[in-house]
Structure 1
Amino acid sequence: MTAPRDHRVLVPVDVLGGEAVPTTIVEAFASVPVALLAYREIPDQIGTDQARDQFGASARAELEELEDVFADAGCLDVSSRLVFTHDRLQTFERVALDAACDALLLLNPAPVLESVLVAVRGDVNLEYIADLLGVLLTGTDLEVTFFHVVDDEGDRERGADLLADAADALAAEGVDRDRIDTDLAVDGSPTREIIAAATEHDMLVVGESRPSVRRLVLRDRAKTLAGGTVDPVLVIRGEYLEGDANAEGADDH
């Protein structure tokens, strides 16, 4: 087993828009440090100070209730902040940088959380993904399927080897091999195939596409995937997958 790394997951919640964190998600992420971002996207003509004066108290009350839910689930490391913003995507990215979050959770309903689909690209850091998943799976019975799409039959062996490496990396983190599966698709659109495969699972894990943090999270394939599935989507940020320590974040509005 590799030495444990520090991980932190950003969980944005539109607390004034009726969005909530499903109990299944709270329980599944109890072993991972969490940064709660209570946000509300406001029209350009309304100032952030004005919105805070008008809605800040009710938003803070909702955030405090959410903090209590995580605390009751045994999550011992929860930070939080409240933001009114004109651009939620820029805010997600800035807070992810500020809070040193290596992943971002896009909330969707999750009445049942038993299996996780992990979409694997050929150019990702498998050991880093395995380490994060190993921490996430602590204290759960979640099963994991690594999924990869290759262009044609000639790439089948390469794809199978990549999936085997991913499974080995997760097993090396102490996850029982009986909880790990692999699935390979041939000659299809990666996005379409991932969305189709995700329908058989309860949460999707994807890596942020290049150019890493310089592209606002959700404005690449992850956004399409999040819109195409009803599952929660955990996006592992490209900075961590690609080792890009010099990327610059966007300013909040």
Structure 2
Amino acid sequence: MASPDDHRVLVPVDVLEGEPVPGTIVDAFASIPVVLLGYHELPDQTGPDQARDQYGDRARAELEELRTVFEDAGCDVTSRLAFTHDRLKTFERVAVDGSCDAVLLLNPAPVLETVLVAVRSDVNVEHIARLLETVLTDTDLEVTLFHVASDEAGRDAGTELLETARSELVAAGVDGDRIDSTVVVDDSATDAILEAAADHDLLVAGESRPSIRRFVFRDRAERLARRTIDPVLVIRGEYLESDEETSGGEPD
């Protein structure tokens, strides 16, 4: 069983837009160290230094208030503040700098009882299982492992994939009675995941490429986050990031 301290989750919050962090999310992630990133995306004509002078005090006050909410729940939380022209690049840089295993894209979560875990391939299944076990600790959350096969010929492979994922979760310490598995056939994985997510409270998606910017936020996971009302936890892959991919962000 992994220690909660072995993991870390990045939670970006647009502090000047009043983006809320649901209490259910705070409670569910209270056992995992959190990097709370207060950010605000700027128009091209506004420089970060100018924004800090104009909005810095207000942004820091909002961020400190959010940090207190996590601390009151018993969470080990650190905070960062960024004014940026490219929020995606900033998310990526902070996730890499902070050694974050996952990025939580916020949406309302009035109830948090069931989790849909979209499994695309066997890449990083063990890594995903270890983090999920940590999230599930001290909760009553039920888990549905979900795979979308592109045709009937892929259904058996999908079933085998989810059996592997289930075995990894059980090996990590999750009670098998809390885990269900579903394989569907659909030519649009995103649409199928969204339909299934409507019956769940939190969507978990695993990253299959080494760049948050290139895949996590500009591909399926961001589309899912924009089109579902659920929070989306994107579990990052265990990859080495190149200098080209992680450079270029302005200082916090």
Q: TM-score, normalised by structure 1?
A: 0.93
Amino acid paired to 2:9: V
Kindly provide the CA deviation profile for residues 56-104 of structure 1, in whole angstroms up to 9, marking residues without a partner as x: 11111111111110011111x2111111111111111111111111110
| 1:234 is the counterpart of 2:229 | no
Q: Does residue 118 of structure 1 match 2:113? A: no
Match of 1:247 among 222, 232, 242: 242
Q: Deviations over 1:1-47 (max 9, x none)?
A: 56877211100001110101100000000011100000011111111
1:128 alignment partner in structure 2: 127
Note if 1:33 corresponds to 2:37.
Answer: no
- The aligned residue for residue 72 of structure 2 is 72
The equivalent of 1:181 in structure 2 is 180
Question: What percent of counterpart residues are identical?
Answer: 65
Q: Aligned partners of 1:111, 1:69: CA distance in 2, in Å?
A: 16
Q: Report whether the alignment pairs 1:15 with 2:15.
A: yes
CA deviations on 1:155-213 (whole Å, 9 max, x unpaired) are 22211111111111111121111111111101331111111110010010112242534
Q: Which residue of 2 aligns with 1:108?
A: 107
Deviation of 1:153 after TM superposition, in Å, equals 1.9
- Relative to structure 1, the CA distance from residue 4 to residue 65 in structure 2 (aligned partners, 3 Å threshold; closer, same or farther) is closer
What one-letter code is carried by the residue in structure 2 that aligns with 1:87? Answer: D
1:99 aligns with 2:98: yes
Report the number of matched residues. 248
TM-score (norm 2): 0.93
In structure 2, the CA distance between the partners of 1:209 and 1:173, relative to structure 1 (3 Å rule), is closer
Gap runs ≥5 in structure 2 = none
Distance 1:164 1:5, change over 3 A: farther
Asked if 1 retains the 8 angstrom alpha-carbon contact of 2:201 and 2:231, the reply is yes
Change (3 A) 1:128 1:21: same
